[in-house]
Structure 1
Amino acid sequence: MDIHRTANRGPMDYNLDNMEAKHGKGLPCEDRLDSGVDSLKEEDDLSKVFEDMTVNPTEPGSEEYEPWRAAVTEDGDTLLHLAIIHEATEHAQQMVKLSHNHSFLNIQNHQRQTALHLAVITEQPQLLDRLLKAGADPLLVDNSGNTPLHIACKRGSLACFGVITQNCQRHLTAVLSAYNYSGHNCLHLASINGYISLVESLVWLGADINAQEPCSGRTALHLAVDLQNPTLVRRLLDLGANVNCLNYGGFTPYHLTFGRHNNEIRSQLYDRTAQELRDMPDSESDDSDMEGLSEDEVYDDIKFGK
């Protein structure tokens, strides 16, 4: 059964400069909850499973725990996964309470999603908080290489972002610097999606504002120019982004304004860019020579993996 969560229940971060291109209906492919509930055809059946769970909170080592912890669907989902997906909050909280510091909390389904990933995707910050306090691992990644914080930054969830960062001080440096399999860290994802508040928070928490994508060498400022987002460009500059940083093709953020028509971005970058870095590399062309060229002819590395 494919289950899509489109309702936003908590505070979300939006940037109007980039909204229309980034917020279609439904969830991106990797944010879909493909639960193994084919054997539980109706939600009434799922409720019956939860009702039949036998647990004894006074005896953590007793065998009564084993059946519900061992139950796994054909898609690798545990009963905790299913409870989160179906927002069976009380049952999820009960399982979390009885599994403090237990490996059960970190079981990954066939998409390598943990309970933490699903709590972020379904926008359940209170349950996310309980999971983290019970010992769930915030460093585990799904099949796209995303930690739960990556997903919160990608989706613009301020509530989940706050819960994760407040509960993960010990792991914060590692989480902030981690790249997913598309070569994006949390700051890159927040920048790509135009979430200004998250960009600010990430930098204030210690994220490297000049971190470069491993494949292309683009920084958050390069990405903001690629996306023609003047608000984000301005904020990154205010936060101290390095305008003279070169990507692996030898381009500064200012170079990426050539052939584009947003004069606000261009003027923001021109005076700040070192004079010797204003001309296109290996070219004597002035600005007028670039007029009429398409963006692909000037710079064709502007596709973003999600």
Structure 2
Amino acid sequence: MDIHRVSNHNQMDNNFDNTEPKHGKMLPCQEDRVDSGLDSMKEEDELASEFEGMSVHTSEEIQQEYEPWRTAVTEDGDTLLHLAIIHESTEHAYQIIKLSHNHPFLKAQNHQRQTALHLAVITEQPQLVERLLKAGCDPCVADDSGNTALHIACKRGSLACFGVITQNCQRQIASMVSFPNYNGHNCLHMASINGYISLVESLVQLGADINAQEQCSGRTSLHLAVDLQNPALVRRLLELGADVNCLNYGGFTPYHLTYGRHNEEIRSQLYEKTAQYLRELPESESEASDMEDLDTSEDELYDDIKFGK
């Protein structure tokens, strides 16, 4: 693959303000993608060979000489820094970051709108995540699925990257943990859907709203835990103060979602705590109709049913 020079590269930052849905409207659910063509990039031996032979120097004279590399991108929109991270060429990545301290180059997004920070989390390189954050990489930039780097850490269960991001972004943490992706899921929803109880605990300790409703169907983390039939997660959410009487957009409590399912442990946990008048299903609707209205992404499946087709 050839790396070509481009001018006036159009960088598109995705921030909290321009992705928040208007009141009363649902966000369309889209498929999450966090791969950045990672596998295909790693298979390109010729590019990898050329990249490993490159050297980046730190002297002022050489820095000016190498200035054009900031505008060079591949056909996938990856910059030299993206490539260094993808190929796990750590020293090259460190040198590029050093030369680009607080430079807009660190916000560059590829064709999947992933920054270097997204890729550092995907490739599980927490030390690189820390270097990028300290150099000025924006943790609030979202990819083409609306995921920030923290969303990805929660989805992948990366405790190391999660810790680095939250420790280095304390001023922004309240906004980051509540920010929804394009599926309407915040970081707590992502951790709950994927069953990472330790991350759920950490997010609640950081101030995440345990009763926050995802924007596709209004389910809380407790609703999601019931859908996933995860009794350990249900128990922990209850211990952390989850509201058992919270209704989703269809008017269903988490206990309502136990109808037709076989986990008696979950059913008994919720029955005892749910208000008596909320234990019966609404007369005008059924759980099945509510389930049909739910849309979700490819890897966020409930009860082996795939929605949104």
**Common fold, TM-score beyond 0.5?**
yes
Q: Secondary structure at the match of 2:33?
A: helix
Whole-Å Cα distance in 1 between the matches of residues 58 and 209 of structure 2? 47
Give the letter for the 1:41 counterpart.
E
Whole-Å Cα distance in 1 between the matches of residues 282 and 32 of structure 2? 38
Task: Summarize the alignment of residues 280-291 of structure 1 with structure 2, pairs less than 5 Å apart.
Answer: 280-282=281-283
Deviation at 1:188, TM superposition (A): 0.4
Alignment match, 1:45: 50
Deviation at 1:296, TM superposition (A): 4.2
Q: 1:30 aligns with which of 30, 33, 50?
A: 33
**Structure 2, gaps ≥5 residues long:** 2-30, 300-309
Deviation at 1:210, TM superposition (A): 0.3
Instruction: Check whether the contact 2:216–2:295 (CA below 8 A) recurs between aligned residues.
Output: no
Task: Summarize the alignment of residues 116-155 of structure 1 with structure 2, pairs less than 5 Å apart.
Answer: 116-155=117-156
Alignment match, 2:94: 93
Alignment match, 1:63: 64
Give the letter for the 1:207 counterpart.
A
Q: Secondary structure at the match of 1:202?
A: helix
Q: Secondary structure at the match of 2:136?
A: coil
Deviation at 1:98, TM superposition (A): 1.4
Instruction: Check whether the contact 1:153–1:189 (CA below 8 A) recurs between aligned residues.
Output: yes
Q: Secondary structure at the match of 1:31?
A: coil
Give the letter for the 1:173 counterpart.
A
Give the letter for the 1:33 counterpart.
S
1:299–1:110 Cα change, 3 Å: closer
Deviation at 1:298, TM superposition (A): 7.5
Task: Summarize the alignment of residues 118-267 of structure 1 with structure 2, pairs less than 5 Å apart.
Answer: 118-267=119-268
Alignment match, 1:113: 114
Whole-Å Cα distance in 1 between the matches of residues 179 and 266 of structure 2? 29
Instruction: Check whether the contact 1:258–1:298 (CA below 8 A) recurs between aligned residues.
Output: no
Give the letter for the 2:155 counterpart.
K
1:40–1:64 Cα change, 3 Å: farther
Deviation at 1:31, TM superposition (A): 2.3
Give the total of aligned pairs: 267
Ranked by relative contact order (alpha carbons within 8 Å, sequence separation 6 or more), the top structure is 2
**Structure 1, gaps ≥5 residues long:** 2-27, 285-289
1:221–1:29 Cα change, 3 Å: closer
Whole-Å Cα distance in 2 between the matches of residues 118 and 33 of structure 1? 8
Q: If the length of structure 1 is used for normalisation, what is the TM-score?
A: 0.81
Instruction: Check whether the contact 1:77–1:108 (CA below 8 A) recurs between aligned residues.
Output: yes
Whole-Å Cα distance in 2 between the matches of residues 186 and 29 of structure 1? 14
Whole-Å Cα distance in 2 between the matches of residues 101 and 238 of structure 1? 42
Q: If the length of structure 2 is used for normalisation, what is the TM-score?
A: 0.80
Alignment match, 1:4: none
Alignment match, 2:270: 269
